[in-house]
Amino acid sequence: MGNVTSSVAARLAFFPPEPATYAVEPAQDGLLQMTGVSPDADVEVRALTTRAGTRVVAAFWRHPAARLTLLYSHGNAADLGQMIGLFLELRAHLRVNIMSYDYSGYGASTGKCVWAHILRASHYWTHSFILYPYLEQRFGKLLPSEYNTYYDIEAVYDCLKKEYGIEQEDLILYGQSVGSGPTLHLASRLEKLRGVVLHSGILSGIRVLYPVKVTLWFDIFKNIDKIKQVDCPVLVIHGTADDIVDFSHGKRLWELAKEKYEPLWVKGGGHCNLETYPEYIRHLRKFINAMEKLAKDKAAKAPQLQPSSSMTEVKHNKCLRFGKR
């Protein structure tokens, strides 16, 4: 049993690429420039301070015709530098804005990753889930952790609201693998969210190891409980041959969702290769189209106020200003 625990715990721990696959440097207007990204790629890079005191790097990939924005939380063994190509492809094919970010301790985000170094020895791996709460309490501000990922995504969401004017109704949260944890954490707190995508998501950390029927106190990323609190449409994507997070996790997450969207079960798909299947982008585009239509229909049904003379004047002035720009 010890060897099994070691194997699965290693898969669930945080392993940011070392060294980071990109760097950031100052740009104009207080923004940053990410290495590996062309200056004309229309991406804005920022460093955001979380309530844990770390600074996370977030990149906003703008599409000129976007109606919706995708907030993307990646898996546990990648950083933004490795995903530049994917974000460019998703932006082009889905015609959405994408907000991506690195967790504390990943890429150019601050926070030293001591988790992996502390637990490298196999006998520590065996008890890693039991040690996790202690390590998080002791080193929480220094290492990627469950709660730090929550603080990270909250800071990114605040940035979307304040800097880009993105409303809940125009936002889709996308979580891949461990990224399903912060995704469902935030989704369970937003009542008007447009949609959620769970890509190779987990029911919880310990359930990757054992099919337990109750949530244990030392478990992490308790998605099995949080998905019941999500009120928007949920798309679940999972590979039937996933050897990291069993296919049963995706099926159960879909079953527990309040508003189920047609799932995508990728036949023969693994944990890290679903994007290479043509049905992946087709189904994702279908979901985006459905969410865009849903947003448009709800906007059309919203009661229209009769403008007063002052309201008409303000609207007229805004049109004039827009025309002059």
Catalytic residues: 177, 242, 271
H-state helical runs in 97-202: 115-118, 122-126, 128-139, 146-164, 180-187
- Residue corresponding to tokens 């099926």: 251
Question: Could you give the 3-state DSSP secondary structure of residue 59?
Answer: strand
Cβ contact 153:71 at 8 Å: yes
Of 107, 13, 18, nearest to 58 by C-alpha is 107
Enclosing H/E stretch for 88: helix 84-94
Alpha-carbon distances, residue 132 vs 96, 125, 155, 199, 288 (angstroms) = 37, 10, 24, 24, 37
Q: Any idea of the CA torsion for 292, 297, 298, 301, to the nearest 10 degrees?
A: 160
Angstrom CA distances, 49 to 57, 109, 215, 229, stand at: 9, 10, 32, 27
Nearest-angstrom CA–CA distance, 102 and 78: 9
CB distance 239 to 201 below 8 Å: no
Beta strand 259-260 pairing with 43-49 = unpaired
Listed in sequence order, the residues at least 6 apart from 294 whose beta carbon sits closer than 8 Å to its beta carbon are 194, 233
Strands 97-101 and 171-176: unpaired
Burial of 15 (0-12, 13-18, 19+ CB in 10 A): middle
